[in-house]
Each structure stands twice: as C-alpha cells, then as structure tokens.
Chain A
Amino acid sequence: MNRQIRRLFLVFSFLFVALIATATYWLWRAPELEARQGNPLLLVRELEVKRGLILSADGRTRLAANRRLELEDGRVWWLRRYPRGSLTAHAVGYSTIGRSRTGLELSMNDFLTAANANLSTVIDTTLDKLRGITRVGNNVVTTLDLRAQRAAVQGLSGMCGAAVAIEPATGRVLALASSPTFDPNLVEEDFPAIERIGAPCKPAAPLLDRATAGRFVPGSTFKIVTAAAALDTDSFTPESEFDDPGYCTLFGRRVFNFADQGTPTGFGRVTLADAVENSINSVFCNIGKELGADVVLEYAKRFGFYERPPIDLPSEEVLISGLYRNGRLYDPADPSEVDPGRLAFGQERLVVTPLQMALVAAGVANDGIVMEPKLVERIVSPDGDVIERFGAEKWKDAVSAATAAELTAMMVRVVESGTGTAAQIPGVSVAGKTGTAETGAAGRNNTWFIAFAPAEAPEVAVAVALSDQAGTGGATAAPIARAIMEAALGRNT
C-alpha cells in the first residue's frame, strides 16, 4: 500500500501548492480589487485619514468638516460632519461608511485623503503610519458664494427644481442648488428620514441633484439657442419681420402660441426682437423650419449640448443635455427625423439640465464664449500652501461677439417690458428669458428663467428650473433668479 500512500501525498502536495498559488493570485490582483466599491478595506483605511475640509469661496466657511471617533480597540476614525447641513448638500455630497460617497466628496477624494501624492510623500505617509501620526488630507476651496447659494436654496424651498449661478467670464459656479434637498449629516445617522421628505413632485428624490442631472424640458428658454442660430448664420437679424397668425402650421396641424404672452390671438406683424420679448412660438416655429433641425442642433452643440459639462463633479451625477428618445440621448443622423418647428421653441423631446441652460446664458453674457464650469477654486495643504489652482478655461466658442450682443439686447427687452419683468433689479440692467414647457398634464409645467446681470458687464448668469408648476416661468422662476442675482451682486435685500 505504500506506493498508493506516496502517490496520495504527491496529490495533496499538488493541491496545497494550488492553494498557495491561489492566495498569490489574489495578492497579484490586489491593486485592482482595492479600488472596487464595496471593498471595506479601502474605505476603512481612508477613515483613518483626517479628510481635508471643503470650504466656501471665502476660504473660511466649512461646508464639510470632521468628527473624531475613538473605537473600542483604540483606533481613531474620522467621520464627516456638515456644519451647514442641507445648504450645499448636492454640490458637496457626502462621505459615509455605509453609503460610500457623492458630489465633491467623491470627485475630490484623492485630494481630500492626500492620496494625490508623489513618491516622496508616499514614503512620508508610510512612515507616519508606523509612527502613528494621523494622515491629514488637503482642503478643497470651492467657488460657492454662500450668499447666492442661500438665496437659491431659500427661493427653491417648498418646490421641486434647481438653480445654478455662474460667473460668465470664469465659469466659476457661485450657486448650485436642488430642491427638495437633504441634510447630509442624516445619511449615516437616519437615512429613512431623508426619504420621508414631503415634496410637490413624485418621486421626491431628495438625493438627486436636479441642477446637474435633473431632466427638464427647456421650453422657450431654448429660443435663445434658436435665435443664436438665426443671427449667427446671418439668416435673420433682430429686425427681421414675421407675420404671427397666433399659430404655426406643422405637418398640416396648427400649433398655437403658448399663454406666456397672455393672449391667444396673434401678434400680427412683429420683428425677431419682438418675438423674443414676448416669446412668440409661431415665429420661432417658422425660423426653425427655415433653418432646419440640423442647424439648430449644431448651435445647441456649440453651447455644450451633447457633451457632459466638464464640471468637477462625478460624471454619473452630470447629465448630458440634448434630444432623448426612450430615455437615451439621441443625435439624429437624418435631420428630417426631428420636427424643426417644435425643436425651435424647446419642445420635441429636448431634455436639458439647469446647469446646461446656465451655461447658455453665461455664453451669451461672455461675448459668445462658454467657459468650463468649475466648482473648485484651489486645493490647499493643511499648512496653507496652495497645491493646485484651477484657472478659467474656455470650453466652447458658441457664437460671435456681435451675435452675443444682439442676443443680449433682445434679452434685456424681455426683462424690461416682456415676459420676464419679475426679474427686474433696480439700477441694474438684467437680460433674461422665460420658459414654460408643457409636459402634457395640467399643473405639471416645467417653468424656467435664465438670465445674467448686469447686461453691459455681466458678473452672474443664472438658470432656474421648476417642475410641477401651474404658472409661467415669468411668474414662478424669474423672482428666484432675481434673488440669486441680487445676492451674487452683493445687493442682498
């Protein structure tokens, strides 16, 4: 029997070597496995790092800070707390043990945990670990202006919608708010409390960042893009005349002007500038038919549609704007698949985010150039040294400066005497455009206001979008936009 036993031992030796090989294989794959969500080891290791602070634009106000937790076995973990609660919930996001991370907490994680290290600091941190010194992350200074942010949050409260304010010349995001909102401190402590929130929309989805990922129909605010196409291609001028019968004939059916202008009857003979001022659908319908859907979409792309705005948030939290079909982004190969008339006044399956429409307003305000939107101003080490500064970067050449000036003039008339008078700020000329998009159900309109001010030297561009509204954009969204602009311009009332 000894031969059999010897063979058995050989078989077992082989099997046991296979076990060691398996452990070696997993060790070899460790770098890849460590990066996987759901691997508690990475998450826990990061809990031993005192994360950097997230600060508002003034560099002092703490939007995210740390809380020390001493474990039974003597280890120290650093948990997050958010001193401003829900104020900047969607932009800052959260970092938790149970539910991982969102917002800047996720996109800036490497900076916040000081993992953005070169070799020498890697050695330093290893030594620190051995010496038991807590690793401290770098601070992130955001572009968020808390006055504008507060105005946005207050304006939106009780509604479902979002607001974005951008500094046109730099792309700095001054405010980014979504409603209903949530208290990020509760994510770890009492998650069900967040979900229990009441809101006039269903689902309330308080965690969804409607500013960057909300799906809104742009309605008449899209007329700025159509008008940009009309002017920039030299097909029309602001003085081009149209005959408005009160409707536009599309495929043999009449599409009536919307009640933005408060009258169902036609305006008669009007110029393009009049049509912007009073948001006359039939005029834009005819412009769209004349230009063709491909030209209108081309100009939409020049403003950033069909591309993810390069804001420093996790890409899964930023929605691409454009035509959607069956829930998916859709770029028609054949322009005849799209109804150019309806496209021109912002219906026709267009889905946009408030961020994208703020970028349209900012592009017009910045002489036709769209800057990259950014939420982070600079990264500062715990000692106060600036590690990285994020300057202004051009994103898109949308239209010529001349076109931008013509668009601005028309948008100023909207606020002076058109559909957007609710956005007037005494002593400041405001350029704006209203939008009221029908979604097919009564009282479920998407209402909009996009604007910038001061018109002659813009310092702030905003977009406010609300869902489930019965009123018009001029009545519902414009006052919120005005409050945000006033706050950003330092005219807090």
Chain B
Amino acid sequence: MSLRTRELWNLGLVGLLTAAGFASVYIARSEVVSAASLSYAAFFVALFVVAHVVLRLRLPQADPYLLPLGGLLCALGLTEIYRIEPNLAFRQGLWVVVGVSVFAVLVLFLRDYRELDRVKYLLGISAIALLVLPALPLIGRTINGATLWVDIGPLVFQPGELAKVLFVVFLAGYLRDNREMLSYGTRGLGGLPSLKHLGPLLLIWGGAMLVLFQTRDLGGALLYFTIFLVMLYTATARWSFVAVGLSLFLLGAFALYQVIPHVQDRVEGWLDPWSDPQGQNYQLVQSIYSISSGGVFGSGLGRGVLLTPNGETYIPFLETDFIYSAIAQELGLAGAAGVVLLYLLFAYRGFRISMLAQDGFSKLLAAGLTAAVAVQAFIIIGGVSGLIPLTGITLPFVSYGGSSIVANFVVLALLLMVSDRVNRNAR
C-alpha cells in the first residue's frame, strides 16, 4: 500500500470518529441525529481529503500519519467546541478552512523548504516583530492578565502563535551554521561553556524574559525558551547548555515572580489550589473537578457538566486553554490519556522524520517543529491538571483560536515537506 493510500485509510477512520463524535453530541442535545450533524462531519472529512489530494500531487512520499493525527485532534476540538457553543464551532470550522488553505498553498508553492534557510534572519526579525505587536498601543489587547492579542478592526489574533514557527525556522538555520563552534568551543570555568559561546543563549534568554515581562505571558516565554533549549541540545549534544539555560530561566522567572503579581498567583495556586478556590485559583480548582469527575470512560460527549443554566461555562476559557478539562470530563481518563497519546504519537512521527533527515537544517527544523507542538501540549495539559503552574496557552489543533489553528497547519506542512524529501532520498 502506498503511503498516500495508507493516509487515506487513516483519514477515513478519523472521519468515522468525527461523525460518531458529532452524532453523540447531537443525541445528547436534542435526541435526534439530523442530516446537519453528519454534514458537519462530511464537510470536515472533505476538507482533509483536499489536503490529502494536495499531498498526493506534491509530496507523495510524506509521512502518512501526521495529517490524520492533526485531523483527529482538530475534529476532537471542533466537536467539544460545538458541544460548548455551536456558534464558536462554526467560526472554528472557518479557521480550519483557512488553516487547510494555508497548508495547501505552502505545499503547492513552496517548492523547496530549504530556501527558508536563506531568509532566516529576516524570519527571526519578523518573529520578534510579531511578538512585540501586542505590546504596542492602539492595537494591543490584554485578556486575562496577558497581553497576547492584536486587535485590528474585525480581526483579533495572537501573533505569538505564528512567531513560534518563524522562530523555529530561524533557529534551525542559525544552529546549523554555528553548531561546530558551539559544540566544541573552549570551555570556561568549571567545564561550563565560555562566555563567548554563551552569547546567543544569553541573548535569547534575555529576549524570552523581555517577552515575559512585556506580555505577562509565562506560558509563551516558557514555550519559546524550551524550544530553544531543545534545539540547542539537539545541535550541540551539550547538557551543560540545557542546565545553564534552565537555571537562568528559573532565576529570571523567580525574579519576575517577585515583581509580577499575576505570576505569583499562578505559582501559589499551583502549590495549593484549595487555598483560594473561589478567587485566584477558581479556574484551576474547577478544572481539577472537571478532570476528576469523568471516571474512566467519561460522561459521554454532550453529557458532562460544563455549562451553568445561563449557558455560561463553569470554567472561563473552557473552549481555549481549558479544553482538555472538558474532554477529560466527557471522555474520561480513557479520552484524556488518548489525547496525550495522540501528541506522543505526533512527537514520535516528527522526531522520526528528524532522525531520518540527511542535512542539519532539515533535522533541526523537524525536531524543533515537533518539539514546539509537544512542549506546548505539555505546558497546557500539565497546567490545567495541576502538574505544573498554570500558564495560558492553546492546546495545538484542539483549542478554539484562529491563529493557533493556522500556525499548527503551517507546522504540519513544513514537517510533511521534510518528510517527503527524506523518504525520496531514501528510495
């Protein structure tokens, strides 16, 4: 069976699951499975079939699992969002259309992704510019204590999501150029890298801290910095970089912890959620209630306790940051573990592409993009379940949010391009 045919079968499976998910929400809501519910699923499948056809045309040798994995996560998110608020699901559906279109355009028109290496500095600067946007007056918007949004007319988006991808591309190029120097550079005191080689690390650390301070976004800063460390380690194999980087980050976070009350609340809420269950820690405590109440198989889609009689969600930001809590309640431990395993599978396929890749840029790019998705999933799932301090960030492919969906489809496109090239060369 060719890779693409395998992909099609996988997509068929995803389509069936999607139809079942929508049907079960419909049954729970109005006890009728109307044609409309299945048309949702059909439309969704058709969308991914378009992506599949594009791959058949341009990247026939690409990995057959990544697109179905993204599709399944997307479908799960869309179903849960539909269950929370149908109007939002409609908009999310539109964003998936945009995401798939961007995916198709990239696959069709970006002939060779390695061209990106040439414009890496431009991309790096663009990433910084995107990150700074929300902090600008007039267009910047602050929601829930974090300044992450840009508001231009009817359009509200989170530029940080896209900056993440540009940042990975830049790092892949930069680290490929400098990995020898960084790996075998002279060592300073105590076997630590010398100051000269720590330069880039310090620069990016400073940037992350600046972003954190500007936007009050601990999750974003953590994500960027972790992606950087992961790629630095991949490129140089030096744990000392990771150790120095992590301690620097903790040090910086601790310093900011002293100054930013928002960060203090999050850390204190993590240490003892029940110290203030109605105030500061309301979201986390409600999220834990939700996760704990699902049992092994959950209440069933559409049957959980997510909404008050007024139709508001018990947990604010349920459809974005806390969507995992809703899924864990309605699909139980089995569903929650399933979601986590889907990301693990995604990471497995992504890292596999990276390992098979021949050139440094491709390796680093694939590893970085994969790590970006995996780290982001870990930060938010760990946050809403109380494993690590809660920081607002979207769950890749699942959370409601246009910028997030589009950015993740870009990640998907790039990974598949690398994969196709790897598999072609292997033949």
Contacts and interface: CB of A to CB of B under 8 A. Distances in A.
B371 to A, nearest CB: 7
Given A8-B230, A27-B294, A74-B31, A38 B340 contact: no
Given A5-B354, A22-B387, A23-B333, A12 B293 contact: no
A41 interface: yes
A27 B237 contact: no
B292 A33 contact: yes
A2 B28 CA distance: 48
A74 B30 contact: yes
A19 B285 CA distance: 17
A12 to B, nearest CB: 5
Contact of B344 (A13, A27, A34): A13
Contacts of B290: 41
Interface residues of B, number: 53
B333 to A, nearest CB: 5
What DSSP secondary structure best describes chain A's contact surface?
Answer: helix
A30 B341 CA distance: 23
Interface in B186-232: 230
Contacts of A13: 344
Interface stretch (B100-108, B133-141, B157-165, B378-386): B378-386
A44 B314 CA distance: 11
Nearest to B302: A73
Interface string B342-371: 011001100100110000100110010001
B328 interface: yes
B305 A24 contact: no
A69 interface: yes
B73 interface: no
B193 to A, nearest CB: 16
B386 A22 contact: yes
B363 A27 contact: no
B277 interface: yes
A8 B277 CA distance: 36
Interface string A8-41: 1100110110111011101101100110101111
A119 interface: no
A40 B305 CA distance: 8
A13 B30 CA distance: 40
B416 interface: no
Nearest to B338: A20
B233 A8 contact: yes
Q: Is the interface of B mostly helix, strand, loop or mixed?
A: helix
Contacts of A33: 288-289, 292-293
B277 A73 contact: no
Nearest to B238: A4
B374 interface: yes
A12 B341 CA distance: 11
A18 to B, nearest CB: 6
Contacts of A72: 311
Contacts of B348: 9
A97 interface: yes
B296 interface: yes
Contacts of A6: 351, 355
Interface residues of A, number: 38
B234 A5 contact: yes
Given A23-B385, A33-B288, A33-B289, A8 B351 contact: yes
Contact of B289 (A2, A39, A77): A39
B309 A27 contact: no
A1 B344 contact: no
Nearest to B291: A26
A38 B30 contact: no
A4 B237 contact: yes
A1 B363 contact: yes
B340 A19 contact: yes
Nearest to A18: B387
A45 interface: yes
B408 interface: no
B378 A5 contact: no
A1 B387 CA distance: 30
Contacts of B277: 36, 38
Given A16-B340, A72-B311, A38 B278 contact: yes
Contacts of B295: 27, 30
Interface in A454-488: none
B386 to A, nearest CB: 7
A120 B243 CA distance: 58
A16 B338 CA distance: 11
B385 A71 contact: no
Contact of A15 (B314, B355, B378, B386): B378
9 contacts: A22-B382, A24-B333, A26-B288, A27-B333, A29-B292, A34-B293, A36-B277, A39-B289, A73-B28
Given A4-B233, A73-B29, 9 more contacts: A15-B378, A19-B381, A19-B387, A20-B336, A27-B294, A27-B333, A38-B278, A40-B286, A41-B305
Closest 10 CB pairs of A and B: A26-B292, A30-B292, A44-B305, A22-B387, A23-B336, A41-B305, A41-B293, A22-B385, A4-B234, A20-B337
